[in-house]
Amino acid sequence: MLNRLMGARIVMGAMIAITVALAWSSFVFAQNGQQGRQKAKAPAASNQPFDAHDLSGFWDITNIGRQPGALNETSNNRPPMTPWGLEKFHKAKTGYDGKALSNGVFPNEKDWNDPILWCDPTGFPRIMWHPTPPGMRFAQTGEELIQFFENNRVWRDIWTDGRKLPGDDAESRWYGYSVGHWDGDTFVVNSNNFNDATWLDQYGSPHSDEMTVEERYRRVDHDHLEMILNITDPKAYVGTWKGDKKIFQWVEKPARSQYADLREDICAWSEVKSFFDRMEFNGKGGLQIHP
Amino acid sequence: MTRKLVVRFFVITLGALTICTPIFAHHGTAGVYDYTHRITTKATVTEYIWANPHVQIYFKLKNDKGEEQTWGVETVSPGNALANGWTKKSFKPGDELLVSFVPAKNDRTFGTCIQFVFVADGKRLGGSGRCGMGAEAVDSNTLPIKPGYTAVEVQMPKDTRVRPESEQEQ
């Protein structure tokens, strides 16, 4: 622990430079009107001590430092799709104008088929950036890092006890199966065994059950956590979908809860169906939404 | 004269930048709402639903023919509503309001981009009137009234509240 704290002081020493860099990139970002809940701005410098190997706490994703026009996605640099991926993508219909990643905007809501409209699990990695704001909490134990999400009150077990990823005959899951390890001060997460029922974003980017995901987290100061997420899916994409650096902001008390915790942001079909019925989604005469 | 032009330039530029600030809706709504009109009138709350995917308020209002209609509006998710200072008791049936909102297309009695002023105490809730995404982004305060609701238009008190950057309005 002592060594870690000494290391932390060194990291803190670089904090001012990082803050300046973030401030500049945030400025650039702000000039280009990015989608997202939080506008980019320079994070306040944190002088609190921290342990680079402790990711515990509540974290909110931000747009700090993201490229101009960056969408709610691991990055805009989606690799070309395979014929299998393209066929699946062209079936995705939404009302979002995804620009760089869009499959077109479908103005008639009767066409929309985003699975979360009818409360299918958001799945991973989409839950990291949509629906916004994706409140998130890390809790660490001796054998795993647990990642809790406000969205639908779900969690991921990221095992750190040395176990290996399962083989391809294992059960597929909405949130996959994950193991993690420390590479210096970077926490590396590898995941597989996803089912292919979720979208990777609200624009309909597809994936298969062969998808693997790598996440790299690094706590740069007490208040900020960097994350890069790379997606590899040879059945759907030609090459790895490399992610942009995301910055998470440490949150002492989540603003979206009256209890200083992650609130129950649960998609309950009875509530959602009532909403669609009342707003006459698809017009008068009853709900015709999928499935 | 020059000074007036400069001031006008900055006002227009600032306004345009503000309008173009992207607002992220929980679900895409392209094509659903008529972002070329607004309804601004008196209303009485009939129902307040605190639930996903969006907090909803239903109210009665009258059109130009004097016919009473029940309209609903979607706002933000309950979590974002909490962050904006709302609670599950912010409205109750019978509350008298001034409302301004963007109606859905066609004859659907549903709306978005809502601004509320409570008649009793002047309290204001809701957004600034800036809404829509992409090509639909608009300042609803500048829109003409939807035909059929022009005679019942009321003037909304000026909204002077400075909103934090994190506030989600739609």
State the Cα–Cα distance between residues A20 and A45, nearest whole angstrom.
10
pLDDT tens-place string over residues B49-69: 999 999 999 999 999 999 999
- Residue of B17, B18, B27, B87 to mutate for A, most A C-beta atoms under 10 A: B27
**In the 8-state DSSP scheme, what is residue A115?**
G
State the Cα–Cα distance between residues A96 and B9, nearest whole angstrom.
32
Going by C-beta distance under 8 Å and a sequence separation of 6 or more, which residues neighbour residue B4? none
pLDDT tens-place string over residues A67-80: 878 888 999 999 99
CATH number corresponding to A2-278:
2.40.128.20
Q: How large is the ipTM? A: 0.76
Domain containing residue B44: CATH number? 2.40.50
What is the domain partition of chain A in residue ranges?
Answer: 2-278
Quick check: B130 and B21 in contact, CB under 8 A? yes
Task: Find the length of chain A.
Answer: 291
Cβ-nearest to A278 among B26, B31, B72: B72
B54: which chain A residues are within 8 Å (Cβ-Cβ)?
275
A266: which chain B residues are within 8 Å (Cβ-Cβ)?
52
Question: Would B58 be classed as within a structural domain?
Answer: yes
> Residue B85 belongs to what domain range?
2-142
B135: which chain A residues are within 8 Å (Cβ-Cβ)?
97
pTM of the model: 0.80
- Residue of A31, A34, A35, A37 to mutate for B, most B C-beta atoms under 10 A: A37
Q: Do the bridges between strand B124-126 and strand B110-118 make them parallel or antiparallel, or are there none, so unpaired? A: antiparallel
B154-to-A167, A189, B116, B120, B161 alpha-carbon distances in Å: 66, 57, 12, 16, 20
The SS3 assignment for B115 reads strand
Cβ-nearest to B32 among A109, A265, A275: A109
Looking at per-residue pLDDT, the higher value among B139 and A42 belongs to B139
Biggest distance spanned by C-alpha atoms of chain B = 53
The SS3 assignment for B86 reads coil
- Alpha helix stretches (DSSP H) within chain B: 2-19, 78-83
What is the amino acid identity at position A78? Answer: R
Question: Would B26 be classed as within a structural domain?
Answer: yes
pLDDT tens-place string over residues A8-30: 444 343 333 333 333 323 322 22
Are B110 and A97 a contacting pair at CB < 8 A? Answer: no
Looking at per-residue pLDDT, the higher value among A34 and A209 belongs to A209
Q: Give me the pLDDT at residue B160, please.
A: 83
- Residue of A34, A275, A281 to mutate for B, most B C-beta atoms under 10 A: A275
Cβ-nearest to A257 among B20, B77, B82: B82
Cis preceding-peptide flag for A107 (omega within 30 of 0): no
Quick check: A34 and A70 in contact, CB under 8 A? yes
Measured on CA atoms in the order A128, A144, A217, A213, is the torsion positive or negative? Answer: negative
Residue A104: CB atoms within 10 A of its CB come to 15
Domain count, chain B: 1
The DSSP result for A145-177, as a single string, is EEEEETBTTEEEEEE-SSPPPP-TTSPPBSS-E
pLDDT tens-place string over residues A198-251: 999 999 999 999 999 999 999 999 999 999 999 999 999 999 999 999 999 999
